[in-house]
Amino acid sequence: MAAGERIVLHVDMDAFYAAIEQRDEPRLRGKPVIVGGPSRRGVVSTASYEARPFGVHSAMPMSRALALCPNAIVVTPRMGRYLEVSEQVMATLDDFSPLVEPLSLDEAFLDMTGSERLFGPPEAMADAIRKAIVARTGLTASVGAAANKFLAKLASDLNKPDGVTIVPRGREAEFIAPLPVRRLWGVGPKSAERIAKLGLRTIGDVARAELGWLRRRLGASYAEHLWALANARDDRPVDASGERKSLGSETTLEWDVRGRNAVEPILRRQCERVARGLRETRLVAGGVRVKLRYSRGFVLATRQAKLDAPADDSRSLFTRAAELLERLDLDAPIRLVGAAAFDLAAAGAGQAPLFAERATKDGNRERAMDEIRARFGDKIDYAD
Ligand SMILES: [Mg+2]
């Protein structure tokens, strides 16, 4: 393998939420299942493969989905369960590479460069990973393998479900040339329309376009981005740094406190800070951790738990954090109280509209508060 040539895999679970529901509940197997908000004003978060031939897909209003597929069984999302299975999937991927970049609960990039001696060619890597995921979770995944992230992600979608697509090395541009422009990363329906007006319909059309002309038509940076992708070039590294990071806030107290009535308000304040940090960085948390340091012996105690649904509002964090206090000794003198959010994911990434329903009401109110704070400083917060 020539220097600089990479092997990137994109692993994407098939109809993840619906597949989990069908696995857990035999009566749902082989039936059209829609996971989504229970009201008719809700949105489809995942449709099982049995529902898809009816035209049902993610992000579609539930009323429309049920008009298309009246026999569908609607299941309310169980985010806690999906997070649990997601962790099993990600842990499985960790066995194959130290460089795993989760994109959402159900998909991730793996950098497999240099591990051919261990796992064989990309086909063998993809098969081994899919087998390991089935063995661990009973669920299927589709895998794309290529020289970069853009191509790998595009490829994993070409043979769904339960399929593998290898983009042939050295023939990448040729491989993607016949595909519609819409397949380029960063091209939504509106941009696709704009690009079509330039007479460019396929990725190959964009690749062959003269870059100077494209710059004048689409603006320099967007044109360069599209042109590089259309020519199968994408240098973004697989970034494992965001994995399992947490975001925390803690206060060392001027004097010791004890008892729930003393600890709870401090914890609430930490949760508010953490929630604000999440919103500022556009992340949602899958879980919350409480940390206490006791004066006696400087002993540290932590407890953590998952949230019912990923959230970025302080009420969701604090509700669960307050429950965790019940599992900690609050009678001994405490000198530090902290809260942290973990299992972080990009807000709105992947299948997220789904989390929105629960998180939003509190999130919106608090977002308004963030703006007020930004304008008037932090004075409305508790005094430290
Ligand atoms: Mg998926």
Residues 152-164 have pLDDT tens digits of: 999 999 999 999 9
CA of 15 to the centre of ligand 1 (A): 5
107 CA → ligand 1 middle, Å: 6
pLDDT digits (tens, 9 = 90+) for 236-278: 999 887 644 677 787 777 788 999 999 999 999 999 989 988 8
Distance 105 CA to ligand 1 centre (A): 9
- Among residues 21, 50, 101, 107, the one annotated as catalytic is 107
Q: Report pLDDT digits (tens) over 28-52.
A: 999 999 998 777 678 898 999 999 9
Strand order in the sheet with 44-47: 44-47, 33-36, 73-75
Give the span between the Cα atoms of 146 and 377, in whole angstroms. 49
| pLDDT band (50, 70, 90) for residue 351 | very low
Q: Which helix (H) or strand (E) holds 85?
A: helix 79-94
**How far is Cα 306 from Cα 225, in angstroms, rounded to an integer?**
38
d(CA 151, CA 175): 10
Query: Is residue 326 classed exposed, middle or buried when 0-12, 13-18 and 19+ CB atoms within 10 A define those classes?
Result: exposed
Spacing, Cα 102 to ligand 1 middle (Å): 12
> What is the per-residue pLDDT across 275-321, written as a single tens digit (0 to 9) for each?
988 887 778 899 999 999 888 877 888 899 999 999 999 999 999 99
Residues in the chain, how many? 384
Q: Residue 151 — very low, low, confident or very high, per pLDDT cuts 50/70/90?
A: very high
Q: What are phi and psi of 150, to 5 degrees?
A: -55, -50
- State which residues have CB under 5 angstroms from ligand 1, the bound ion: 12-13, 106
Q: Give the DSSP letter of residue 231.
A: T
Alpha helices, DSSP H only, in 200-259?
Answer: 203-208, 211-218, 220-230
Tokens of 358: 């629960």
Q: What is the pLDDT of residues 105-135, one digit of tens each?
A: 899 999 999 999 999 999 999 999 999 999 9
107 is catalytic: yes
pLDDT in tens, 166-196: 999 999 999 999 999 999 988 888 889 999 9
85 Cα: distance to centroid of ligand 1 (angstroms): 13
Which residues, 6 or more positions from 214, have their beta carbon under 8 angstroms from its beta carbon? 198, 206, 223, 226, 227
Burial class, 182, CB count within 10 angstroms (exposed 0-12 / middle 13-18 / buried 19+): middle
CA of 13 to the centre of ligand 1 (A): 4
pLDDT of residue 375: 42
Nearest alpha carbon to residue 317 among 286, 296, 291, 354: 286
The kind and range of the H/E element at 309 are strand 300-311
Which pair of tokens denotes residue 284?
Answer: 């949602």
Structure confidence by residue, pLDDT tens digits, 50-93: 999 999 998 888 999 999 999 999 998 887 788 889 889 998 99
pTM of the model: 0.65
